[in-house]
Amino acid sequence: MRTLPIELREQAITRRQFLKTTGFTTGLVVSGLGLEGIIASKQAPVYAQERAIHFLLWKNFSPPADREIIRQGEEWGKANRVKVRIEQINANDIPGRASAAVESQTGPDIIQFFHNWQVQYADSLVDVTDICVDLESKYGGYLDYAKEHAMYKGRFTAVPHTIVPNIYVARKSYLKEAGTEAWPATWDDLRREGRKWKERGHPIGQTVGHTFGDAVNFTYSYFASYGSKERHPDGRVAFNSKETLEALKAFKPMWDDAFDPAGPGWDDSNNNRAFLSGAIAATQNAPSIYLKASNELLLDTKGEPLVLDIAHYPDPAGPAGVFHYHYTQQLGIMKYSKNIDICREFLIWLLDKEQYARYLRRGQAYQSSPLRAYLEDPMWEMFPALKPYRDWLPKGLRVGLDGPADEKAARVVQNYVLIDVLANVATGKMSPEEAMLWGEKRLKEFYEA
């Protein structure tokens, strides 16, 4: 056998490596045609698919967080030769996009879901249990409700990413001018004090409209504080109860006496604008109001920094106690993706502490982590005024109000069933008794049909 000189052998190896890199060799092998076959078939060889992922998520209420997630996508993409396309839309539009993607089996590779929306599409989502279990082992486990929102039938359908906590935000000067000496401890107290605020032209602002965040947070917290439930342990609807009726009977006069009547038509941004403009005295909200006032150096009517007049308080108590619902956000990988392994690698990197802590901190504590270790993150010392959010973070509710956070509970929250119950009472469209029966009927359509 004739042996090539060593310099020619080295040249041949280099050429083979080059052909492999360009995909030419792969194209010939995958096609199974050879050069003559390619010419005869008049078809180009099949080259390796482009390394690219499409990541769909919301337009954040914290602009620095948006800038950071885009920067991180670019950084990882460049280092790994992957084109990372990050698309941001209004959170209220995500359910429609996700549903269309599942139905058509095409669309974003990774989708951000809120509450437990994604369990409706569990069969279309990649099992990410191994990723989540590893994160739990490193960072002290997940907060209970965040874990329940991410799991379905014993597996993680999506990776818990963040939590947006919600408590009350209030103008201290408005409360003081009205003679309020302490934040209301109960809903009855809120009605009494809120009436004073409203009489001075500064009501409480609260949405009970079809919007993804604030309406859900308020409604679920309020019903839970009265002990109202969606389901019995055996799965039957439990909404028709003395607790629910008591909650609705108390809600109507409180709404009329203390709240802005425009609330049923509000989305998640209306209360922010109303608060920052001085139109309302208080609202249940995430940290976005404080952060906007701080970042933009907003001043009150006296020319003083508005942030000095902002305080944060827990929800008032009902007969069953104080409860808070904080909406969770999960990242799900779609099974139709042609780059599932790349998506997994990206999420593992994104949730690594070096990147993840930077994202939370640059987001200025607007979003919190579902992982317990981050309750002690230095981020909270960076924004001490927001510590009340951290303090109430571990005590969050799950969707379903005592029932499991399953696909039926996801459809209930996504269809605003309980929010509509409150809206029907607030607007006078229904009496408390009628609203309860209407809500029971709607819940049965989802839970018992």
Average predicted confidence (pLDDT) for the chain: 92
Domains of the chain by start residue, with CATH: 52-165+326-395 (3.40.190.10), 167-325+415-447 (3.40.190.10)
pLDDT bin (cut points 50, 70, 90) of residue 234 is confident
- Please say whether the dihedral angle defined by the alpha carbons of residues 311, 314, 318 and 324, taken in this order, is positive or negative: positive
Summarize pLDDT for 323-368 with one digit per residue, the tens: 999 999 999 999 999 999 999 999 999 999 999 999 999 999 999 9
Cβ(212)–Cβ(92) below 8 Å: yes
Summarize pLDDT for 143-200 with one digit per residue, the tens: 999 999 999 999 999 999 999 999 999 999 999 999 999 999 999 999 999 999 999 9
Cβ(223)–Cβ(207) below 8 Å: no
Q: Write the DSSP assignment of 334-381 as a string of letters.
A: BTT-S-HHHHHHHHHHHTSHHHHHHHHHHTTTSSB-SBGGGGG-THHH
| Euclidean distance between the first and the last CA atom of the chain, given in angstroms as a whole number | 78
- Strand pairing of 159-164 and 282-285? unpaired
pLDDT bin (cut points 50, 70, 90) of residue 30 is very low
Summarize pLDDT for 265-309 with one digit per residue, the tens: 999 999 999 999 999 999 999 999 999 999 999 999 999 999 999
pLDDT bin (cut points 50, 70, 90) of residue 21 is very low
Cβ(377)–Cβ(99) below 8 Å: no
Distance CA 299, CA 303 (A): 5
- Please say whether the dihedral angle defined by the alpha carbons of residues 130, 131, 132 and 136, taken in this order, is positive or negative: positive
Query: What are the residues whose beta carbons fall under 8 Å from the beta carbon of 365, sequence distance 6 or more?
Result: 287, 379, 380, 382, 383, 386, 389, 390
Number of residues written out for the chain = 449
Scanning 81-186, the segments in alpha helix (DSSP H) are: 94-104, 129-139, 144-150, 172-177
What is the token pair recorded at 25? Answer: 């060799």
What is the average per-residue pLDDT within 421-449? 97
Q: Can you tell me whether residue 148 is helix, strand or coil?
A: helix
pLDDT bin (cut points 50, 70, 90) of residue 40 is low
**Enclosing H/E stretch for 333:** strand 327-333
Q: What is the pLDDT of residue 13?
A: 44
Nearest to 392 by CA among 289, 320, 283, 316: 316
Bridge partners for 327 per DSSP: 164
pLDDT bin (cut points 50, 70, 90) of residue 36 is low
Q: Is the pLDDT reported for residue 372 higher than 90?
A: yes
Which of 40-49, 73-82, 273-282 bottoms out in mean pLDDT, i.e. has the lowest?
A: 40-49
What is the average per-residue pLDDT within 2-18? 44
Nearest to 398 by CA among 212, 140, 144, 159: 144
What is the average per-residue pLDDT within 119-123? 97
Which of 25-29, 34-38, 150-154 bottoms out in mean pLDDT, i.e. has the lowest?
A: 25-29
Q: Rg for the chain (alpha carbons), in Å?
A: 26
Q: Is the pLDDT reported for residue 449 higher than 90?
A: no
Distance CA 174, CA 353 (A): 41
What is the token pair recorded at 91? Answer: 């959170």
pTM of the model: 0.88
pLDDT bin (cut points 50, 70, 90) of residue 7 is very low
